[in-house]
Amino acid sequence: MAKTIELQFTTRDNKPFSITLTDPIEPVNPVAIEVAMDAVILQNCFTTSGGDVVGKKGARIIERNESDITIG
């Protein structure tokens, strides 16, 4: 089961912007996530079509299950 963490932001034009990272450390530390998201905003390190990243929308863990199917 593959897990990722998605950090969700808003841009100056109020468009969604997200960063997805693999293999999040668990249990998740909400304070550490918020600090990291604040750093992304303060450092203005990403350029988007919607303008600068200006706000935090949320964060979530995404789990993905894969099962091979034998054919033929």
Domain for residue 48, yes or no?
Answer: yes
Q: What band does 53 get if pLDDT is binned at 50, 70 and 90?
A: very high
Q: Which structural domain range is residue 8 located in?
A: 2-64
Please give the pLDDT value at position 72.
85
Residues near 55 by beta carbon (within 8 Å), at least 6 away in sequence: 9, 10, 41
Domain for residue 40, yes or no?
Answer: yes
Please give the pLDDT value at position 11.
97
Residue 35: exposed, middle, or buried by beta-carbon count in 10 A (0-12, 13-18, 19+)? exposed
Decide if pLDDT at 33 tops 90.
yes
Domain for residue 31, yes or no?
Answer: yes
Decide if pLDDT at 1 tops 80.
no
Domain for residue 36, yes or no?
Answer: yes
Tens of pLDDT, residues 2-32 = 999 999 999 999 999 999 999 999 999 999 9
Domain for residue 71, yes or no?
Answer: no
Number of domains in the chain: 1
